[in-house]
Amino acid sequence: MMLKIEAVAAPQSRPLDREDIQSHPLFAEIERQIALHLIAIHDRTPRLSRLKASHRKWLMTHSLFALSLQRRDDDPLSGLTATRFVDTVMRLAAASRNTATAYLAELVAYKFLRDVPDVPDRRVRVLETTEAAYDAMLSWFNGHLACLDRLDGGTRQQRSLADGRIFRLAQPMIAERLSEDPLWRDPPDSIGNFLWSDYGGMVLHDLITRIEHYDPQAETTEIAPLALSTLSDKYMLSTTNLKRMFKKSEDDGLIGWEQPRRRGHMWFSRSFLHDYFQWQSAKFAAVDAAFHEASSRLDDNRWTAAPGASG
């Protein structure tokens, strides 16, 4: 389905806040736009997507990426180390110490992280993101900027593409803002059973792309018939895991199908989509605030040293 292009207001000089974003008449459309964008990233790098598929892994991935980008050339021991990463994960209560350590090792094994060469203290292992991981996160950032531009006619994405320093400054700010935001860090129960499951976030993105007409006042929103086997095949998930993912929401009357045995059109309740869109608005607001702060620092020459980031 082609998204219709509508007139938008003149660019704003301030970042959009959550209310600006969630109440905007185009918000449901940009939600579909970002979902398609993130699915495209998954299609290009499915292994990387699997390593950040749950919300817990999302928190860990953005945290380690921020640490990597904060490495400074004048401090060879700065940046991403196992100790700093595990400390961050424990502070967020995102995972256990062993899980965090194993996750870091997995990213190294899959060549999404690598050792920084010539570290003067051999007792310290400093890591950095590889080009594949860097490009995927940069695409994530610019995809969100493109969506925000649709809301107010801004030129965020254009500026970011022209100056890579914006991303390198903004991403750590985004990670910090969202890790400290109770709404983002602890999603509502209505969507939490998806988000805390491996690949549940991608499943939600897929569901959102199937919404063709959205009325925030309607009690339910329907999409075309959808078999769980379709999602299972696309994301290489077992139908057992998918059924477990959907069951609580079905039992709570948040989602369902018009006929028994998950047949006919699928529907989402108003509260389910409200909670999801409200949660997503926190992310978009954090991205916009970070973009504006990074741009302001660069305009004011307040970035004194470039991090030693890959890419």
Task: State pLDDT tens for residues 257-302.
Answer: 999 989 999 999 999 999 999 999 999 999 999 999 999 999 877 6
The answer to whether residue 214 scores a pLDDT higher than 60 is yes
Residue 303 pLDDT level (bands cut at 50, 70, 90): low
Checking if the pLDDT of 6 tops 80, the result is no
Residue 22 scores a pLDDT above 70: yes
Report the percentage of the chain scoring pLDDT > 70. Answer: 91
The amino acid occupying position 261 is R
SS3 261: coil
Checking DSSP bridges between strand 220-223 and strand 263-269, what pairing results, if any? antiparallel
pLDDT for the residue 75: 80
Work out the pLDDT band at 311, boundaries 50, 70, 90: very low
pLDDT higher at 227 or 308: 227
Q: Alpha carbon of 242 to those of 53, 81, 231: distances in Å?
A: 14, 35, 8
| pLDDT reading at 305 higher than 50 | no
What average pLDDT does the chain have? 89
Model confidence over 121-154: pLDDT tens digits?
A: 778 889 999 999 999 999 999 999 999 999 999 9
Per-residue pLDDT, 54: 87
Q: Are 170 and 7 in contact (CB under 8 A)?
A: no
Q: How confident is residue 252, by pLDDT bands cut at 50, 70 and 90?
A: very high
Q: How does strand 255-259 pair with strand 80-81? A: unpaired
Distance CA 93, CA 181 (A): 13
Q: What is the pLDDT of residue 51?
A: 67
Instruction: Evaluate whether 210 touches 217 at the Cβ level (below 8 Å).
Output: no
Note the pLDDT tens digit of each residue in 164-192.
999 999 999 999 999 999 999 999 999 99
Selected residue with higher pLDDT from 307 and 209: 209
Does position 72 have pLDDT exceeding 90, yes or no? no
Listed range (50-64, 225-239, 282-296) with the worst mean pLDDT: 50-64
